[in-house]
Amino acid sequence: RALGLEFLRLAENQMQLGVSKVFTDLLGPFGYNGSGPFQAELLDVCEFDNVRKRMSVLLRMPSGEILLYVKGADSSILPHVLEQEAKEQCDSHLLTFARQGLRTLCLAERVLSEEEFQDWHSRFKEAKAMITEDRADLIHDLSNELETKRLKLLGATAIDDKLQEEVPETIEQLRQAGVRVWVLTGDKVDTAISIAMSCKLLTEE
């Protein structure tokens, strides 16, 4: 809302956003006429999993254009981005964020033709309806197929994921009692080190 967009509702696969004047012109190319909420059709969702480390949605804009939006770990997004300069700039920022202990995600998009979407969607719908043991593998493969082609980098986010109260003190007491504490994380190494230092899992020693 503070940026000028507000999620209003999702009903019968129709997503509505409240739009401020700042975004009126920016949404023009997607077919928004500047009157009332911006509305797009949610076509499909590829749910997050720990192997792909990303999730995505397919939207049909008011203009009829079909867009894929992907978010996930930098290691799962950047290798599939076409623009080398954009990747290098983003990687530099991500390293800075990680050293500050911030949790990061990358965002990307690409446009699909109607033919490409219909072909993929029919196979994805069929895979989701299956009850065989290879259902999850088929959904995973189809999600990968969609999300790893010709991506355009949109940017990255970085948030400060605050520790819960007394986490550092509790871990320190466990260490003093001789209890081993292990942390498994998918974060970048610099992020993991910074967080481990802040919660006293690691020390300068």
Tens of pLDDT, residue by residue over 111-143, are 999 999 999 999 999 999 999 999 999 999 999
Of 63, 81, 103, whose CA–CA distance to 192 is shortest? 103
Q: Write out pLDDT tens, residues 77-115.
A: 999 999 999 999 999 999 899 888 888 999 999 999 999
What does the mean pLDDT of the chain come to?
90
Q: Is the pLDDT of residue 34 over 70?
A: yes
Percent of the chain with pLDDT over 90: 60
State residue 164's pLDDT score.
Answer: 82
Instruction: Tell me how far CA of residue 124 lies from CA of 10, 45, 135, 141, in angstroms.
Output: 22, 10, 10, 10
* Contact predicate 109/58, CB 8 Å: no
Q: Is the pLDDT of residue 26 over 70?
A: yes
